[in-house]
Amino acid sequence: MLGRCSLAIAVCLSAALASVAQERTGGDGPTGPTKKRNGSTVRSEEAIQQAERKRIAEEDKALQRKAELLAFATEHLPQLRLLLDTLEAKRPEQFRTALLNLARDEKRLSSFEKLDPERFELELKRWKTEQRIQIATAKLALQGESEGIRSEMKELLETRNELRLQWMQMDLERSRERVVRLEGLIQEAVRPSDAELQRQLDQLIARTKRESRAKTTTPENEADRELKKDKRR
């Protein structure tokens, strides 16, 4: 049986490789702009240095939130917390990287929790499944293929596919609801009632009057009036 430290390092490496792959497929990504030279893509030295400074600053912020982030891992994925503890004790640099990745994930999930609680629950399940897949992949790389690992990975992949399907179904249902709302708005716009037209007219007139009064009471206009009074005297 391999040690937890080796597994933690493998998980950290797996997450880092996944992050790099995502950045490459996402265009410029968080590491800054690119430029093409002789048919190949080359990142400018200045952009690389700027990205490195940004990464270090983000790591420092993540370290300041260490207790909060570790509590998040304990609550939602205790196995990840154990790996993070091992990294902190044995491989501090890898721990900083892993904590930064966790901070980014936690921030993204928190935005869902505040703006869309229903979607947050689904996204949290997806995140935990992806973390478990990374851990299982690391086990496979370190321990070799076995029936137990194959069974675990198959189950995790089935869960990931099911959650992805639920995500798309939620999007589809919300899109349908939006279409219904838009159709209602279109009907109102095509044949507005006399009362609706009168309301729009009253609002337009009121706004025009307010803007006109605001323009006539600016400090510049006040100064012009005072100057004209002085000339009359």
* pLDDT score recorded for residue 217: 58
Which 3 state secondary structure label does DSSP give 37?
A: strand
* pLDDT score recorded for residue 229: 62
CA–CA dist 132, 146 (Å, integer):
17
Q: Dihedral, CA atoms, 29, 33, 37, 41, nearest 10 degrees?
A: -10
Structure-token pair, residue 174 = 């919300």
pLDDT (tens place) for every residue of the chain, 233 residues total: 334 445 555 555 455 444 434 444 444 444 444 445 555 555 678 888 888 888 888 888 898 999 999 999 999 999 999 989 988 999 998 999 999 999 999 999 999 998 999 899 999 999 999 999 998 998 888 888 899 999 999 999 999 999 999 999 999 999 999 999 999 888 877 777 788 889 989 999 999 988 888 776 555 555 566 666 666 65
Structure-token pair, residue 27 = 């265009």
* pLDDT score recorded for residue 139: 86
Radius of gyration of the chain (CA): 29
Per-residue pLDDT reduced to its tens digit, 26-57 = 444 444 444 455 555 556 788 888 888 888 88
Question: Beta strands of the chain (E only): which ranges?
Answer: 35-37, 40-42
165: Cβ contacts below 8 Å, ≥ 6 apart: none
Neighbours of 62 (CB within 10 A): 22
Cα–chain center distance at 196: 40
190-193, Cβ contacts within 8 angstroms, sequence gap of 24 or more: none
Is the distance from CB of 88 to CB of 66 less than 8 angstroms? no
Q: Is the pTM of this model over 0.95?
A: no
